[in-house]
Amino acid sequence: MGCVHGSHILIVDDESGILRGLSDLFESEGFVVHAEQSIPGALRVADDFNLDIAILDIRLKHDESGTDLLAILKERDPELPVLMITGYGSVESAVEAMHAGAADYILKPVDNSHILEKVRKNIELVRLQQDNQYLHGELREKYCSSEIVSADPGMLGHLQIADRIKQSNAPVLICGESGTGKEIMARYIHFTSNRKDRPFICVNCAALSESLLLSELFGHEKGAFTGAFEKRLGKFELADTGTLFLDEIGDMSLEVQAKLLRVLEQSCFERLGGSRSVAVDIRIISATNKSVKQLVEEGELRSDLYYRINVVELDLPPLRERRCDIPLLADHFIRIYNRRYKRNIRGISSEVLRSWMSYSWPGNVRELQNVVNQGVLLSASDQIELFHVDVPGSEEPSLQRRPFDPRRDGSLQSYIRQITQEAEKIAIEKTLTACNFNQSKAAARLGMTRKTLAKKIQQLQIRKL
């Protein structure tokens, strides 16, 4: 697994033979090894290096205790994974160390493949948690009940079902067109459940070939196939005790479906090229934008798998069937992009609302979000007007943006200035027309002084039609 290369590992053991053997093992696997025999030496290493993991013997010489060192290391860095080495007679001490914050313990004599596996898994999980730190903060708030933005009875009904089943381990199948919010619902179920502090892992089944998807889900042993230079943990293993979200499950091959069915039935699997069974505790949430019944009828989805993943089904409605949510979602996305771009857009004009309410939104909520993003970014006033956004099917003209061509446009900076001036000219022309060329009224709507507006009219050569 490539993530371990260059990882800093601290190994503390007073037996020089064990220390040398473990050092050689981890150096051969690409780790930066810091080997010490005492607590003072270990603390000097912790002061000088950013450690990724530590392995400590519970009993050290000179009445030193690995458990004491564990407490000091965890106080300095609560996120540092620490593994404890112990003999059979000290298992009780190892369990106490785990209560004090150790990630796991390893019995002597140390098995090289076993300790490598534990180290890799703990480093992977910590890095995954760091990568998902935003999800565990911002996104958890975003997908709480008040942030699934809807007043639609059908959508609220699905939310109530999600609330009733989220604390269970029941598999959930979320159906709906692309852009309706299937992943948002999956995240809501996870981040408001008793698994919220555990991993949430996403896999897009349509984005990978069969062989890559097998490796992605189940992981592989070193040498399992050409190019498998080292062991790799799969998403099932990384999602242990958490949630695995399988997006576009209808694109999964029948062979992968058979293996997935076994995991659902037995809660265990083998890595590619391996024979040892790995037990996991995972909640499976699946999603598809296709008709699952049609997939079953056409033999593209195994019926036995369908019944396993379809314990609870949520069929999310498209945006055109929940038009009452359009203004609510627009306000929600405006707040998001105001923060992102440091803007102060207060809302959308009545013309924009009428246009959006009559539009079919084939891209659903994702398309609306993109349009609002565009509007907040390009708006020259404190509200989004029709000429700030491109909505297919809209009768109102919008700025046609052409791709950057350095041979024609010169520098990127000049191109951006030109595009900005074009957008500004269209915004001012539309506002003046709406205000019957009353410059005082137009200036107020545009959020600028009348003198500034008059100067821009002259600079942009705007004429009354």
Going by DSSP bridges, is the β-strand pair 200-204/278-279 parallel, antiparallel, or unpaired? Answer: unpaired
Whether residue 379 is contained in a domain is answered as yes
- Residue 9's pLDDT is what? 94
- Residue 135's pLDDT is what? 47
CA-CA distance, 352 to 385, in Å (whole number)?
6
Whether residue 395 is contained in a domain is answered as no
Q: What separation in angstroms does the CA of 463 have from each of 191, 400, 425, 459?
A: 55, 21, 11, 11
- Do 327 and 313 belong together in one domain? no
- Do 334 and 274 belong together in one domain? no
- Residue 365's pLDDT is what? 93
Question: pLDDT band at residue 284, thresholds of 50, 70 and 90?
Answer: very high
Enter the tokens of residue 246: 């399988």
Residue percentage of the chain with pLDDT more than 90: 36
Enter the tokens of residue 249: 């499950």
- Residue 247's pLDDT is what? 93
- Do 100 and 46 belong together in one domain? yes
- Do 145 and 212 belong together in one domain? yes
Q: Pick the residue with more confidence: 164 or 79?
A: 164
Enter the tokens of residue 358: 């009559």
- Residue 419's pLDDT is what? 67
Domain end residue (candidates: 317, 352, 371): 317
CA-CA distance, 30 to 10, in Å (whole number)?
14
Enter the tokens of residue 227: 């190019």
Question: pLDDT band at residue 137, thresholds of 50, 70 and 90?
Answer: very low
The yes-or-no verdict on residue 313 having pLDDT over 90 is yes
DSSP state of 317: P
Task: Find the mean pLDDT for residues 331-346.
Answer: 89
The yes-or-no verdict on residue 380 having pLDDT over 70 is yes
CA-CA distance, 23 to 10, in Å (whole number)?
9
The reply to whether the predicted model has a pTM over 0.75 is no
Q: Which amino acid appears at position 249 of this protein? A: I
- Do 146 and 285 belong together in one domain? yes
Q: Pick the residue with more confidence: 1 or 238?
A: 238
Q: Pick the residue with more confidence: 303 or 223?
A: 303
Q: Is the dihedral of CA 316, 317, 319, 325 positive or negative?
A: negative
Whether residue 159 is contained in a domain is answered as yes
Task: Write the CATH number for 431.
Answer: 1.10.10
Taking only the tens place, the pLDDT of each residue in 75-133 is: 888 889 999 888 766 667 767 788 888 888 888 888 999 899 899 888 888 777 665 55
CA-CA distance, 439 to 445, in Å (whole number)?
10
- Do 241 and 343 belong together in one domain? no
Whether residue 393 is contained in a domain is answered as no
Look at residues 86, 245, 85 and name the one whose alpha carbon lies nearest to residue 173. Answer: 245
- Do 7 and 141 belong together in one domain? no
Query: Would you state the torsion angle of the CA atoms of residues 111, 114, 115, 121, taken in this order, to the nearest 10 degrees?
Result: 180
The yes-or-no verdict on residue 443 having pLDDT over 60 is yes
Q: Pick the residue with more confidence: 330 or 139?
A: 330
Question: pLDDT band at residue 268, thresholds of 50, 70 and 90?
Answer: confident
Q: Pick the residue with more confidence: 291 or 136?
A: 291
- Helix (H), strand (E) at residue 104: strand 104-107
- Do 121 and 173 belong together in one domain? no
Taking only the tens place, the pLDDT of each residue in 349-373 is: 888 888 888 888 988 999 999 889 8
The total number of structural domains that make up the chain:
4
The yes-or-no verdict on residue 198 having pLDDT over 50 is yes
CA-CA distance, 381 to 421, in Å (whole number)?
14
Whether residue 130 is contained in a domain is answered as no
Q: Which residues pair with 127 in a beta bridge?
A: none
The yes-or-no verdict on residue 149 having pLDDT over 50 is yes
Vertex 333: Cα angle to 446 and 195 (nearest 5):
160
Whether residue 284 is contained in a domain is answered as yes
Q: Kindly report which listed range (132-141, 276-285, 313-322) carries the lowest average pLDDT score.
A: 132-141
Q: Kindly report which listed range (49-53, 123-127, 189-193, 250-254) carries the lowest average pLDDT score.
A: 123-127
Task: Pick the most confident of 169-183, 257-271, 274-288.
Answer: 169-183
Q: Pick the residue with more confidence: 417 or 53?
A: 53
- Do 70 and 204 belong together in one domain? no
Helices 153-165 and 182-191 pack at an angle, to 10 degrees, of 40
- Do 232 and 353 belong together in one domain? no
Task: Write the CATH number for 199.
Answer: 3.40.50.300
Question: pLDDT band at residue 385, thresholds of 50, 70 and 90?
Answer: confident
Taking only the tens place, the pLDDT of each residue in 7-19 is: 899 999 988 889 9
Average pLDDT, the chain: 83
- Residue 132's pLDDT is what? 56
- Residue 248's pLDDT is what? 92
- Residue 134's pLDDT is what? 42
Task: Write the CATH number for 354.
Answer: 1.10.8.60
Task: Write the CATH number for 114.
Answer: 3.40.50.2300
Whether residue 394 is contained in a domain is answered as no
Task: Find the mean pLDDT for residues 38-43.
Answer: 92
DSSP state of 307: H
- Do 312 and 347 belong together in one domain? no
Q: Kindly report which listed range (210-224, 234-248, 275-289, 296-310) carries the lowest average pLDDT score.
A: 210-224
Q: Is the dihedral of CA 430, 434, 438, 444 positive or negative?
A: negative
- Residue 397's pLDDT is what? 41
Domain span at residue 28 reads 2-125
- Do 210 and 265 belong together in one domain? yes
Domain end residue (candidates: 65, 97, 125): 125
CA-CA distance, 328 to 405, in Å (whole number)?
39
DSSP of 209-276, one letter per residue? -HHHHHHHHH-B-TTSSTT--S-B--HHHHTTTSEEEEETGGGS-HHHHHHHHHHHHHSEE--BT--S
Burial class of residue 16, CB neighbours in 10 A (0-12, 13-18, 19+): exposed
Whether residue 120 is contained in a domain is answered as yes
